[in-house]
């Protein structure tokens, strides 16, 4: 198995991600999404100078794109494999096999934790190394390789399924850490074990009688080459107990029959519309039957025909509902890119005030040298692109022209394909090891693949703004800007010459509806993402750039990604369901750092409560209105971040980290609160204005909200 290109069509906006070992049928999914193959973007990474890649161990088949920024990256990178979380299960490759468990999810204070704890270990009785041999939208295959290079078996993980699958590559006796035996209420060829008060069921595929293959003590199973077994962990029922009674037995028996037909591949598709986007993940089984799947909270607006209500599992993201079907599909509210702010409702006095501030901010921008790294450098370009739009809209022709020349000059510098041959910064290189584009100088581990969508989203946004009405500029910077877009969001694998291709959709986890920020993910809690708002901003920038460069297919894809990420950002970072049983005991209104194995109100850079919310707001643009869909939650989040329910009694309340971002967030509460925020914003200390924004943008945003 290996990755297969994503596909896109302008009319339906469909994407496809599948596996070459199991070709999906063409035509619409059960949710009506058309599946159409797409070409790779017309980019050439080798136009950039090659850089020496990181010295990193990779447990990966030679022809596969290195899977940085994936939920399973910890299996591939680093000296030792890390646990990963297909969810609802957690899995680890051990020194002699593998182990899995169903995390015991608990909330306490500012943390929801569901760490990997092994409940069933599978011992192949000799040292092995796990090597990822294939992956697609929702499945990962791991070869368990002995010291002599022999593959003992293949472990298959399925994102969004409580089933783990193993196929023996040669005859072997496998030792189990739990005793499995026949159960009277299940078919005779199926075995079960009670583990921590919950049944784990062992099922054979292709007619394999598991009970006959088990040794007398139930702790060893004899497998011949080609034999396949799966483990299923039973769900909770509606009352919170595990399955029991006649109804529970019937439901579990139905699940067992589905488990006999294992998932072998998956694909992801989408469709865009004026009011909503639809995302569909199809799961292909060996025999074409239904799969055992779960529906996560962000997928609640169902668009498929899966039979659900079969039980639940607690995950750190919330309660997941168990389903039988070949697809999980869901709707998300459509979000459209927004170019600038609408100043038409401002009074003459407001325009005059704003013009004075724009003049001051333009003067300051022209007096500074923008940062040289990709994160802060990109933020500065996007910041000044916004400032340029304000100057234009206010009729400040001289200021607009001067700032435009400055920003475009810097953008052109960054967009020189061979820039890194003559200078050590403000340029990009091609990393042939990780198959990724790396900006020089690096920041926040960007040379390891970290945060590329955060960084490059700012460049895409700036280029989209500046080239919106300048086709010549778009054509000039396209060779590099298109590479930045492809690096984080290519619709299909990109051939880069010798070696594996650049991956499709490098950072986006389609099943979970959001991106991952760590490149190698060297963590026991899986991958993580902090600034969900910067991920949203990345796809906003992608959409603006696609529009400016005339790429209609990318424009549809970007709108889907923007809508999908915004919906998940609210579902798990800012507006999650506090009444979900999983959240019982959680005392935080936001969880600013989301992992597969935990969620927490914390940041990588500050212990201040305002930081935990501010990092989920910045950068504020015209599309940031998605954050205000629930005004009551906006007010609650602000009260937590600021330590008071009385937001406007003291101006000093806002003299905190990200004070300007929180004021703009408060502007989403309505005109009255926006007016109150505007009064505070005028005198907010300069150091509280984020380096990716200006006081001009702060005032303009709040003025437009107050006039709404």
CA distances, 178 to each of 155, 157, 602 (Å): 19, 20, 37
Is 558 part of any domain? no
Is 184 part of any domain? yes
Per-residue exposure over 544-557, b if at least 16 CB sit within 10 Å of its own CB, e if not: bbbbbbebebbbbb
Q: Is the pLDDT of residue 401 over 70?
A: yes
Is 349 part of any domain? no
Q: What percent of the chain has pLDDT over 90?
A: 87
Span 267-326, pLDDT tens digits: 999 999 989 999 999 999 999 999 999 999 999 999 999 999 999 999 999 999 999 999
What is the model's pLDDT at position 27?
53
What is the model's pLDDT at position 237?
81
Span 534-563, pLDDT tens digits: 999 999 999 999 999 999 999 999 999 999
Q: Is the pLDDT of residue 699 over 60?
A: yes
- Cβ(152)–Cβ(168) under 8 Å? yes
Beta-carbon contacts of residue 364 (< 8 Å; ≥ 6 apart)? none
What is the model's pLDDT at position 22?
32
Span 73-84, pLDDT tens digits: 999 999 999 999
User: How many domains would you assign to the chain?
Assistant: 1
Tell me the pLDDT of the chain averaged across its residues.
93
Residue 84: which CATH number? 2.70.98.30
- Rounded to the nearest 5 percent, the helix, strand and coil shares of the chain are 35, 25, 45
- Cβ(466)–Cβ(473) under 8 Å? yes
What is the model's pLDDT at position 310?
95
What is the model's pLDDT at position 29?
65
What is the model's pLDDT at position 412?
98
pLDDT band at 247 (very low <50, low <70, confident <90, very high): very low
What is the model's pLDDT at position 629?
97
Beta-carbon contacts of residue 26 (< 8 Å; ≥ 6 apart)? 35, 36
Is 608 part of any domain? no
Q: Is the pLDDT of residue 576 over 70?
A: yes
Segment among 14-28, 193-207, 246-260, 492-506 with least mean pLDDT: 14-28
What is the model's pLDDT at position 15?
43
Instruction: Work out the number of other CB atoms within 10 angstroms of the CB of residue 196.
Output: 11
The span from the first CA to the last CA of the chain, in angstroms, equals 53
Dig out the tokens for 62 from the structure: 């030679």
Span 75-109, pLDDT tens digits: 999 999 999 999 999 999 999 999 999 999 999 99
Distance of CA 217 to the CA centre of its chain: 44
Beta-carbon contacts of residue 93 (< 8 Å; ≥ 6 apart)? 75, 81, 128, 129, 130, 142, 144, 155
CA distances, 457 to each of 76, 216, 481 (Å): 26, 59, 10
Span 670-681, pLDDT tens digits: 999 999 999 999
What is the model's pLDDT at position 38?
64
Q: What angle do CA 149, 435, 519 make, to 5 degrees?
A: 85
Span 279-295, pLDDT tens digits: 999 999 999 999 999 99
Q: Is the pLDDT of residue 112 over 90?
A: yes
Q: Which pTM was predicted? A: 0.95
pLDDT band at 424 (very low <50, low <70, confident <90, very high): very high
Average of per-residue pLDDT across 343-348: 97
Q: Is the pLDDT of residue 13 over 80?
A: no
Helices (H), 373-521: 374-393, 397-414, 452-466, 471-489
Average of per-residue pLDDT across 377-385: 98
CA-nearest of 134, 5, 148 to 61 is 134
pLDDT band at 20 (very low <50, low <70, confident <90, very high): very low
Q: How long a stretch of residues is the chain?
A: 708
Q: What percent of the chain has pLDDT over 70?
A: 93
What is the model's pLDDT at position 252?
85
What is the model's pLDDT at position 5?
30
Quote the CA–CA distance of 12 and 501 in Å, as a whole number.
27
Is 161 part of any domain? yes
pLDDT band at 14 (very low <50, low <70, confident <90, very high): very low
Q: Is the pLDDT of residue 244 over 50?
A: no
CA-nearest of 694, 671, 701 to 342 is 701
Is 424 part of any domain? no
Is 704 part of any domain? no
- The parent domain of residue 70 ranges over 27-333
Is 81 part of any domain? yes
Average of per-residue pLDDT across 433-446: 94
């Amino acid at each position: 198995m290996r990755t297969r290109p994503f596909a896109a069509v302008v009319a339906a906006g469909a994407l496809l991600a599948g596996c070459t070992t199991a070709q999906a049928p063409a035509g619409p999914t059960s949710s009506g999404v058309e599946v159409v193959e797409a070409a790779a973007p017309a980019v050439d990474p080798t136009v950039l100078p090659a850089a020496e890649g990181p010295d990193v161990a990779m447990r990966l088949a030679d022809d596969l794109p290195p899977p940085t920024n994936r939920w399973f990256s910890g299996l591939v990178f680093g000296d030792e494999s890390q646990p990963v979380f297909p969810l609802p299960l957690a899995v680890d490759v051990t020194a002699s096999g593998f182990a899995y468990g169903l995390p015991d999810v608990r909330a306490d204070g500012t943390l929801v934790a569901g760490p990997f704890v092994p409940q069933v270990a599978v011992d192949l009785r000799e040292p092995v190394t796990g090597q990822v041999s294939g992956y697609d939208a929702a499945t990962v295959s791991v070869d368990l390789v002995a010291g002599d290079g022999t593959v003992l078996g293949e472990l298959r993980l399925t994102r969004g399924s409580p089933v783990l699958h193993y196929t023996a590559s040669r005859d072997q006796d496998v030792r189990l850490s739990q005793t499995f035996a026949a159960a009277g209420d299940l078919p005779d060829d199926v075995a079960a074990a009670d583990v921590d008060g919950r049944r784990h069921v062992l099922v054979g595929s292709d007619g394999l009688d598991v009970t006959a293959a088990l040794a007398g003590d139930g702790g060893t199973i004899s497998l011949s080459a080609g034999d396949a077994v799966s483990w299923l962990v039973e769900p909770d029922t509606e009352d919170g107990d595990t399955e029991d009674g006649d109804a529970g037995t019937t439901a579990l028996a139905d699940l067992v029959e589905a488990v006999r037909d294992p998932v072998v591949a998956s694909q992801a598709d989408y469709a865009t519309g004026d009011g909503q986007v639809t995302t569909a993940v199809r799961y292909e089984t060996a025999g074409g039957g239904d799969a055992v799947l779960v529906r996560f909270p962000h997928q609640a607006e169902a668009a498929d025909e899966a039979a659900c209500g079969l039980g639940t599992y607690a995950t750190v993201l919330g309660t997941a509902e168990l389903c039988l079907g070949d697809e999980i599909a869901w709707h998300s509210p459509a979000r459209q890119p927004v170019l600038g702010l609408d100043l038409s409702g401002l009074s003459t006095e407001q325009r005059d005030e704003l013009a004075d501030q724009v003049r001051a901010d333009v003067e300051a921008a022209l007096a500074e040298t923008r940062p040289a790294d990709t994160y802060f450098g990109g933020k500065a370009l996007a910041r000044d692109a916004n400032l340029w739009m304000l100057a234009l809209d206010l009729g400040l022709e001289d200021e607009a022209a001067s700032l435009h020349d400055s920003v475009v000059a810097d953008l052109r510098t960054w967009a020189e394909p061979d820039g890194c041959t003559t200078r050590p910064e403000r340029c990009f290189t091609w990393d042939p090891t990780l198959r990724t584009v790396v900006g020089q100088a690096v920041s926040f581990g960007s040379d390891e693949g970290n945060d590329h969508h955060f960084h490059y989203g700012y460049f895409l946004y700036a280029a989209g703004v500046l080239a919106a009405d300048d086709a010549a500029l778009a054509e000039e910077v396209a060779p590099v800007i298109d590479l930045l877009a492809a690096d984080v969001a290519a619709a299909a694998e990109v051939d880069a010459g010798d070696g594996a291709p650049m991956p499709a959709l490098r950072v986006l986890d389609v099943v979970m509806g959001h991106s991952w920020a760590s490149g190698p993910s060297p963590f026991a809690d899986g991958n993580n993402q902090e600034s969900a708002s910067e991920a949203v901003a990345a796809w906003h920038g992608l959409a603006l750039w696609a529009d400016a460069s005339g790429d209609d297919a990318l424009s549809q894809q970007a709108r889907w990604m923007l809508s999908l990420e915004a919906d998940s950002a609210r579902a798990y970072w800012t507006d999650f369901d506090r009444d979900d049983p999983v959240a019982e005991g959680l005392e935080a209104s936001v969880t600013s750092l989301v992992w597969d194995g935990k969620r927490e109100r914390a940041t990588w850079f500050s212990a201040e409560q305002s930081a935990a919310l501010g990092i989920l707001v910045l950068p504020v643009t015209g599309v940031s209105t998605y954050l205000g869909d629930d005004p009551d939650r906006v007010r609650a989040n602000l009260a937590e971040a600021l330590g008071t329910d009385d937001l406007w009694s003291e101006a000093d309340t806002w003299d905190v980290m990200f004070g300007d971002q929180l004021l703009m967030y408060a502007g989403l509460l309505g005109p009255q609160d926006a007016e109150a925020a505007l009064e505070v914003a005028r005198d907010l200390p300069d150091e509280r204005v984020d380096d990716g924004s200006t006081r001009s943008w702060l005032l303009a945003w709040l003025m437009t909200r107050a006039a709404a």
